[in-house]
Each structure stands twice: as structure tokens, then as C-alpha cells.
Amino acid sequence: MTSVFTATSVSRLYGAGRNTVVGLDEINLAVETGERLGVVGESGSGKSTLIRLLAGLDRPTRGEVRFDGELISGRPEHQLGFLRQGVQIVFQDPRSSLNPRMRVGDIITEPLRSPLLRGRPGVPVDKAARLAEVLEQVGLPTDSGRRHPHEFSGGQRQRIALARALAPRPRVLIADEPVSALDVSVRSQVINLLNDLVAEQDLTLVFVSHDLTVVRHLCDRVAVLQSGRIVERGLTAEVYAEPQEPYTQSLLEAVPRLPDPS
Ligand SMILES: Nc1ncnc2c1ncn2[C@@H]1O[C@H](COP(=O)(O)OP(=O)(O)OP(=O)(O)O)[C@@H](O)[C@H]1O
Ligand SMILES: [Mg+2]
């Protein structure tokens, strides 16, 4: 079976010379079809760097990244249509990721109008129909398309970001701290929605979070990053029950309480 993603000896350095900052250091990782991989680690450990490389939004300094077995690192954007359709990403703060001047309907269908996606097999052709479908899937009112992002709450804005990500029918969803900018009271609603969407649409999920409780709830595997390296990985239940690395133990000890997953 071909993995969805493989990263082989991937490093990402920022800057040069004495000012070099290590974002990722010789990472090896495979993400398999249908799995839900959680990526955890303290601030600055390289989580966003890793998923930006998987999503083809950035290039490694060394090593290679593949999607469906095809090399993506180092390829020009115009050759990445298969990646742009297959993989969509949701960011932390919907306030900055949604263009405030655009109508929500245009924001959500924008990926469908991208020259890289237009005409690809599987990409919805009828934009209005697809808009109505994804609005319903994320639980937003049918007339939301005519409105602007500022007319929605934080939780609703993250639903808009999810609808936009789902619009081209991706197989893989990447989420980078998708609820940490949201009010605590709406976080679990958005997480439950994400959980349902991933299950209903058989998505492969790569989920970055500081919140280890959410990762336990959502993800079947986990990778623990520290200073740009994967220091521990495995089934979420096993890593949480018996963390092998002191660093993982300290991350888990920082979690106030671990309710039973349900
Ligand atoms: N564009 C950049 N230029 C310079 N250094 C960067 C850049 N992006 C990330 N870094 C550095 O690379 C390291 C990893 O950053 P990254 O954003 O991947 O961490 P993170 O785990 O996502 O952190 P957080 O939990 O705070 O989002 C950090 O030391 C960071 O300062
Ligand atoms: Mg980050």
C-alpha cells in the first residue's frame, strides 16, 4: 500500500550561518490512508513546520516529501494540482485565514476556481451546489454564502474554514491548532464536527495540537516532536498509557486531567 505521505530525512533550517534556526531535524514519517495522526510538542518544536512541508506550502532544506508516492518537495507549483486537490489545510485563526472583504460563498468556492484544480477528476463543477452541500455539512445556515466573515462568530468562522477545505473533496485534511484561537465554550463543538466529518468522509487526518486531551479523543496515532525531532510515536492509547520518553511524560503531566475517551 502506498502511504499518503512519506517524509524521508527531512530537515528544514531557517536563516543561515550563525543565525540558523532548526525547524525540523532529519524527520522520517509515514502517514497511512485513513489514519488520524496527532502531532504534539511544545511551542517551537516544529509542528507547523512539519505540516507546512506535508501540505507543500514550504520546501525542506534537505530530504524529500512524497504524497501518494509522488515527489512534492522541490516541484514547481504548477505540477502540484494532485496535491492541492488531495490535501486541504485548516489553520489556527479563522480571523486571519479568511479574507474579510470576500463573501463567504466566494471564500468557500475559491479552491474550486483555482486553475490547478479546475477540470481535475473529482473536483465539483457546480459551485453553487457544492457550496450548499458543504454549508450543510458544517452546520451553517443556507444563506451564509451571501454574508461576510465578520458577521459570524469565531466558531462559525472555523466552520467556514472547514467548508472551504472540504469543497474540492480532499482525501486528506490537515489541521494546525484549529480550535486554540476559539472560545473554550465552542472548542468541543468544532472538534466534534471535525471528528464527524473525518468519519463520514473517510478522510485521513493530520492534527496538530497543544491539547493532548483533544489528540487522545481524535487521533489513533501520535507523533511527539521536540526541537525538530520526533522523539516518540505510536498508537495514541499506548503512548498515553506508557510514555517512554521523559519529554512525553512531562507533556502528559502538564495535562490537568484526562477524562475517558468516548
Ligand atoms: N519563517 C520562519 N523563520 C525563522 N524561524 C522560523 C520560521 N518558522 C518557524 N521558525 C522556527 O522554527 C522552529 C519551529 O517552529 P514551528 O512554527 O514549526 O513550531 P510549532 O511547534 O508549530 O510551535 P507553536 O506551537 O508555537 O505553533 C521554531 O524555533 C521557530 O522559531
Ligand atoms: Mg505552530
The answer to whether the CB of 40 is under 6 A from ligand 1 is no
Instruction: Please report the pLDDT score of residue 261 as a whole number.
Output: 57
Instruction: Please report the pLDDT score of residue 145 as a whole number.
Output: 98
Ligand 1: which residue has its CA nearest to atom 17? 48
Q: Tell me the residue range of the domain where 202 lies.
A: 5-253
Instruction: Please report the pLDDT score of residue 218 as a whole number.
Output: 96
- The answer to whether residue 260 is domain-embedded is no
- The answer to whether residue 32 is domain-embedded is yes
- How many angstroms does the Cα of residue 92 sit away from the middle of ligand 1? 14
CA distances from 93 to 129, 180, 202, 206 (A): 27, 8, 25, 17
Instruction: Please report the pLDDT score of residue 93 as a whole number.
Output: 86
- The answer to whether residue 233 is domain-embedded is yes
pLDDT tens by residue, the chain, 262 residues: 689 999 999 999 999 889 999 999 999 999 999 999 999 999 999 999 999 999 999 999 999 999 999 999 989 999 999 999 999 999 998 778 899 999 999 999 999 999 999 889 999 999 999 999 999 999 999 999 999 999 999 999 999 999 999 999 999 999 999 999 899 889 999 999 999 999 999 999 999 998 899 999 999 999 999 999 999 999 999 999 999 999 999 999 988 765 555 5
Instruction: Please report the pLDDT score of residue 151 as a whole number.
Output: 96
Position 242: which residue type? E
Instruction: Please report the pLDDT score of residue 258 as a whole number.
Output: 54
Ligand 1: which residue has its CA nearest to atom 27? 43
Instruction: Please report the pLDDT score of residue 1 as a whole number.
Output: 66
Instruction: Please report the pLDDT score of residue 160 as a whole number.
Output: 97
> For cell 473525518, what's the residue?
198
Considering every ligand atom shown, identify the ligand nearest to the alpha carbon of residue 27 and give its number: 1
CATH number of the domain to which 247 belongs? 3.40.50.300
The number of domains in the chain is: 1
Instruction: Please report the pLDDT score of residue 19 as a whole number.
Output: 92
Considering every ligand atom shown, identify the ligand nearest to the alpha carbon of residue 12 and give its number: 1
- The answer to whether residue 154 is domain-embedded is yes
- The answer to whether residue 261 is domain-embedded is no
- The answer to whether residue 246 is domain-embedded is yes
Ligand 1: which residue has its CA nearest to atom 11? 23
**pTM: predicted TM-score of the whole model, two decimal places:** 0.95
- The answer to whether residue 186 is domain-embedded is yes
- The answer to whether residue 262 is domain-embedded is no
